[in-house]
Chains A and B, each alone.
Chain A
Amino acid sequence: MMQRHPCQPRPDWREKVESVGLTFHSHDDGPYWDESAAYELSRAEVDELEAAANRLHFLCIDAAEAVIKNHWWPRLGICEAAIPVIMQSWERDDFSLYGRFDLAYDGQSPPKLLEYNADTPTALVEAAVAQWFWLRELHPHADQFNSIHERLIAAWRRLAGTLVSDPARCERPFGTPLSDPARFKTPTDRAGTEPGASAARQPPTIHFSCVKDLAEDEMTVLYLRDTCEQAGMQTKSVFIDDIGWHRRAKHFVDLDHKRIERAFKLYPWEWLWQEEFSAHLRAGCLQFIEPAWKMLLSNKGLLPVLWELFPGHPNLLPAYEAAEPLGGSYVRKPKLSREGSNVSWVEGGVVVEENGGNYGEEGFVFQAAATLPVFDGNHPVFGVWVVDHEAAGLGIREDTRRITGNLSRFVPHYFV
């Protein structure tokens, strides 16, 4: 049975979490990494969260396929220019590294999907690393739903094994049919079938990119680069606004004028499409991680599609493109918002909680309000990480408010 235990923070917790990369542990209003409490879960609860995330990931892929087949692009507010690039990445089954489901879970009823952060999820260093070292020091005999680090390295290794440098890619036509049964196999499915023959070839360099001067972004990207290096790949850093376009060669370059073929980006796809260089994305000469097809999964416009395709599914909340089916009580979410921006919690037709922000131009969806548990006045949201198509770990963030925002605290967990 899930419990929240008050704890005495380690006197030197700041130094300890900083030493493993969590330099952004505090903000102006207090700690973001909060070890004054910890969540204890049962193994059965962890199993349920894991199974729910695995189910939901493939439901989302099915829903994305329905969007593509039925040309439901306007339902997700996806711009015309993005469609061929999404299609291309989908047909090629471009490599996807990770994502994070935000689930509402009280330990009584099945976990419910709040949203899928499938494009630019953060809170990774704290989930994968900081809470692992916290566990090792304070609860060495307990377990934690957290094999994120190992799974990330394994995912990069798989990519390294399958990559070949493909200079003719710009001319490559759309690839395998949507019905190809080999699409989106999990690492477990693939075990024993993945050829290791290409290992002798030199894997191409993976560039890692984010915006400048944001500590959380830089550390998140550096951590992912760390796991990529440990998988034997070559890596390089280039800030998103330093990426260059070579006019004659017609490919992207870094500051050394070296070609960028594959780049991990911690930068939303929908922003890329608003920018000058998006015109060059159609050439397909740069493969981003996360790939363009993840735009479908990270879009909250997928929530009504999921409910339409799988009505009554135990891990879904009713969701629509209009408020009426939900009566006067619902949560209104912009299709593209992040960190709870522009989310409104409505009860009896009255807004009882709301976050500000710059989103909403793309339209809203309306989702039934989840029953959020309360522990000492705090509402936890369960962030289940998916790495290479499989659930890999958990990070819990809590807030006294029901809408998780960018100041919501990260609280470590364990189970016995």
Chain B
Amino acid sequence: MANLSPMKRSKSIRLVLLGGLSTAVLTGCAPKPSVSAQNVYTNNFYVPGAGYYHAPFRSWYALPYNHFDAQRDQFFYGGQWGGQPFESITNISSPTAEAVQLVENSRTDVSRGGFGGWSSGHFGGSWSGFHA
């Protein structure tokens, strides 16, 4: 006689991340290098906390260079909106000292390491730390 009870197992299992494991997936995002007025940067060079570099304006902004906003029907460049994309032959430049200072300020606004310290006291010599 056929068993009419519903199955209690998953019908199928598809793995998206686990099957195609990559180091990048596991390690997450890596810390970014600091910026310098002695270096040059191309348009849209991204710095966490500071934004996207706009080479003609030698600074970082919250939105990418010539970002188009459909609702405004305008383009963003150099901290302002315009009806046309900004046209410039400068697509690489060194930032101003003020721009570098702003980036550095954004870095010091964030402190890290305030979580995770307690684990170090519990993992010594153990195959797994706190699993339940």
Contacts A216-B131, A339-B128 known; A275 to B18 CB distance under 8 Å? no
* CB-defined contacts of A339 to chain B, threshold 8 Å: 128, 130-132
How many Å from the CB of B111 to the closest CB on chain A? 5
Is the CB of B122 closer than 8 A to any CB of chain A? yes
21 CB-based A-B contacts, threshold 8 Å: A28-B127, A43-B5, A117-B132, A122-B132, A143-B9, A149-B10, A214-B129, A223-B17, A236-B29, A237-B29, A238-B29, A240-B115, A243-B114, A248-B109, A253-B49, A254-B29, A255-B28, A276-B117, A298-B132, A339-B130, A406-B131
Q: Please state if A121 and B132 are interface contacts (CB–CB under 8 Å).
A: yes
Q: Counting chain A CB atoms within 10 Å of each CB, which of B48, B115, B119, B127 scores highest?
A: B115
Complex contacts, B30 vs chain A, CB 8 Å = 255
Are B8 and A146 in touch, CB under 8 angstroms?
A: yes
Question: Which residue of B is nearest A248, CB measured?
Answer: B109
Cβ-defined contact, B48 with A257, below 8 A: yes
Q: Taking A150-B11, A275-B118 as contacts, is the C-beta distance between A241 and B113 under 8 angstroms?
A: yes
Which of B16, B49, B116 contacts A240 (CB under 8 A)? B116
Q: Flag B94-129 by CB within 8 Å of A: 1 or 0 each.
A: 000000000000100111111111110111001111
Within 8 A of B (CB), among A161-177: none
Is the pair B8, A406 in contact by a Cβ cutoff of 8 Å? no
Chain B minimum-CB-distance residue to A391: B8
> A146 vs B122: C-alpha distance in the bound complex, in angstroms?
32
Say yes or no: is A246 at the interface (Cβ < 8 Å to chain B): yes
Known: A20-B19, A338-B132. A149 touches B13 (CB 8 A): yes
Q: Does B21 contact A (CB under 8 A)?
A: yes
Choose among B17, B114, B130 the residue that contacts A338 (Cβ–Cβ < 8 A): B130
Residue-by-residue, is A216-257 near B (CB-CB < 8 Å gives 1, otherwise 0)? 111100110110011000001111111111111100011111
Residues in A with CB closer than 8 Å to B116 are: 211, 239-241, 243, 267, 275
For window 349-389 of chain A, which residues contact chain B by CB distance below 8 Å?
358
Q: Is B10's CB under 8 angstroms from A150's CB?
A: yes
Does A323 touch B at the CB level, under 8 Å?
A: no
Interface pair B13/A243, CB less than 8 Å apart: no
Tell me whether B15 and A211 are in contact (CB under 8 A): no
The 5 closest A-B pairs by CB, nearest first: A241-B116, A277-B114, A237-B28, A117-B132, A257-B49
Contact status of A255 and B29, CB under 8 A, knowing A133-B13, A248-B109:
yes
A268 at the interface (CB under 8 A from B): yes
CB <8 Å contact, B16 and A246:
no
Contact residue among A120, A121, A245, A276 (Cβ-Cβ distance under 8 Å from B110): A245
Assess A226 versus B29: contact at CB under 8 Å? Given A143-B8, A244-B110, A338-B131. no
Instruction: Indicate with 1 or 0, residue by residue over B11-34, a CB within 8 angstroms of chain A CB atoms.
Output: 101111111010001111111100
The interface size of chain B toward A, counting residues with CB under 8 Å, comes to: 46
Q: Is the CB of B8 within 8 A of A144?
A: yes
Q: Is B7 an interface residue (CB 8 A)?
A: yes
A residues contacting the other copy or chain, number (CB 8 A): 78
Query: Does residue A407 face the partner (Cβ distance < 8 Å to B)?
Result: yes
Apart from A119-B132, A146-B9, A406-B131: 7 A-B pairs, beta carbons within 8 A: A115-B132, A120-B132, A122-B131, A230-B16, A249-B109, A255-B48, A276-B113
- Among B11, B25, B110, B129, which residue has its beta carbon within 8 angstroms of that of A211? B129
A205 is an interface residue with CB less than 8 A from chain B: no
Binding site for B on A (CB under 8 A): 19-21, 27-28, 43, 46, 50, 100, 115, 117, 119-123, 125, 128-129, 132-133, 135, 143-150, 211, 214, 216-219, 222-223, 225-226, 229-230, 236-249, 253-258, 267-268, 271-272, 274-277, 280, 298, 338-339, 358, 393, 406-407
Do B18 and A230 touch (CB < 8 A)? no
Whether A257 and B110, one on each chain, are in contact in the complex, defined by CB atoms closer than 8 angstroms, is yes
A233 CB to nearest chain B CB (Å):
12
Inter-chain CA distance A226–B21, complex, in Å, is 11
Assembly CA distance A146 to B31 (angstroms): 39
Contacts of B10 in A (CB 8 A): 128, 132, 146-150
The CA of A255 and the CA of B103, in the complex, are separated in Å by 15
CB <8 Å contact, B8 and A145: yes
Nearest CB of chain B from residue A391's CB, rounded to whole Å: 10
> Do the beta carbons of B31 and A246 come within 8 Å of each other?
no
Is B17 within 8 A of A225, CB to CB? yes
Instruction: Tell me the minimal C-beta distance from B49 to chain A in angstroms.
Output: 4
In the complex formed, the residue of B with least CB distance to A43 is B5
A189 to B8 Cα, complex, angstroms? 19
Report whether B127 and A147 are in contact in the complex, using a CB–CB cutoff of 8 Å: no
**B111 surroundings in chain A (CB, below 8 A):** 244-245, 247
Residues of B within 8 Å of A338, CB to CB, are: 130-132
